[in-house]
Amino acid sequence: MRIDDPRRNDLAQYDGLTDEWWQASGGFAMLHWLAAYRAGHIPPAAGPGAVLVDLACGGGLMAPHAARLGYRHVGVDLTASGLDVAARHGVLAVRASVLAVPLRDGCADVVVAGEILEHVEDDVAVLAEAARLLRPGGTLVVDAIAATRLAEVVAVRIAERVPGGPPPGIHDPRLFVDRRRLLAAADRLGLDLRLVGLRPSVRDVLAWRRGRRDVVRMRELPTTAVLFAGHGRKRDPAPPPGERTIGPARTVG
């Protein structure tokens, strides 16, 4: 599919990919790898009532990780076919836009917004919903594709042609994420957010292609110019006057 094809990022594509969600070598293979990576940045649940809200949950690939960590897993998505799959894996499925989630303020101990910021017209609005849903001190985990020429080449022109890459047409480079804008918005929203670059382990990819691994480990990089993750927390209420606070760590490289 051409890079400027208007059918790119069409939500209807996901209905034709329903059977791919839980196939370790299917069209969503890399989403399995990213789900495992996200889980490594989520603390175990503090109690039996802890809630993880998964924005754009798709087929619910975070489900085994949320269960292992002790969270009640609430998945939000617009695609009914994906939500049906997620529900079969124990996800409490909510059909709604990630721009207007029908859940109360501060209900979540963890919010995951994986592979969604580069699929919406207003990524900052998604971040604002994440901040609204999080309790003070809650954990935020995001990942997305950066708005760079390099990302367009790697994540679209190359990745759509290799095994384990995204299905052709899933991404529209015009929606890729401005990292500085995202960090500035996070600060305004009371989120301390740190960005790191990501790539799949080359050794693991080779083993995966030979059928020797189901999940490829994601490696962190100093550059966030292609695929990046964001790890953070929602700041506690402002301290009394005179107390010092430590600002957020940031990386845009």
Output the 3-class SS for the chain.
CCCCCCCCCCHHHHHHHHHHCCCCCCCCHHHHHHHHHHHCCCCCCCCCCCEEEEECCCCCCCHHHHHHHCCEEEEEECCHHHHHHHHHCCCEEEECCCCCCCCCCCCEEEEEEECCHHHCCCHHHHHHHHHHHEEEEEEEEEEEEECCHHHHHHHHHHHHHCCCCCCCCCCCHHHCECHHHHHHHHHHCCEEEEEEEEEECHHHHHHHHCCCCCCCCEEEECCCCCEEEEEEEECCCCCCCCCCCCCCCCCCC
Q: What's the pLDDT score for residue 12?
A: 79
Q: Give the pLDDT band of residue 231 (cuts 50, 70, 90).
A: very high
pTM value is: 0.90
Percent of the chain's residues with pLDDT above 70: 90
Q: Domain tally for the chain?
A: 1
Q: What are phi and psi of 89, to 5 degrees?
A: -105, 20
CATH assignment at residue 132: 3.40.50.150
Q: What are phi and psi of 39, to 5 degrees?
A: -60, -30
Residues in the chain: 253
Q: Give the pLDDT band of residue 216 (cuts 50, 70, 90).
A: very high
Q: Give the pLDDT band of residue 85 (cuts 50, 70, 90).
A: very high
- The radius of gyration computed from the CA coordinates of the chain, to the nearest angstrom, equals 18
Place of tokens 């490594």: 40
Considering only CA atoms, which of 119, 116, 227 is closest in space to residue 175? 119
Q: What are phi and psi of 160, to 5 degrees?
A: -70, -10
Q: Give the pLDDT band of residue 163 (cuts 50, 70, 90).
A: low
Give the residue, 149 or 246, on which the prediction is more confident: 149
Mean pLDDT of the chain: 91
Percent of the chain's residues with pLDDT above 90: 74
Tell me whether residue 246 is in a domain.
no
Q: Which of 7-21, 54-68, 165-179 has the highest mean pLDDT?
A: 54-68
Tell me whether residue 251 is in a domain.
no
Tell me whether residue 252 is in a domain.
no
Q: What's the pLDDT score for residue 149?
A: 96
Determine the average pLDDT of the residues in 35-43.
Answer: 98
Q: What's the pLDDT score for residue 33?
A: 96
- What is the C-alpha to C-alpha distance for residues 180 and 233, in angstroms, rounded to an integer? 18
Range of the domain at 115: 11-234
Q: Give the pLDDT band of residue 159 (cuts 50, 70, 90).
A: confident
Tell me whether residue 57 is in a domain.
yes
pLDDT of 88 strictly over 80: yes
Determine the average pLDDT of the residues in 38-66.
Answer: 97
Q: Give the pLDDT band of residue 17 (cuts 50, 70, 90).
A: confident
Q: What's the pLDDT score for residue 169?
A: 82
Tell me whether residue 239 is in a domain.
no
Considering only CA atoms, which of 248, 103, 115 is closest in space to residue 186? 248
Tell me whether residue 241 is in a domain.
no
Q: What's the pLDDT score for residue 243?
A: 52
Tell me whether residue 93 is in a domain.
yes
Tell me whether residue 247 is in a domain.
no
Q: What's the pLDDT score for residue 250?
A: 63
Integer distance in angstroms from the first to the last C-alpha of the chain?
A: 30
Q: Give the pLDDT band of residue 161 (cuts 50, 70, 90).
A: confident
Determine the average pLDDT of the residues in 108-124.
Answer: 96
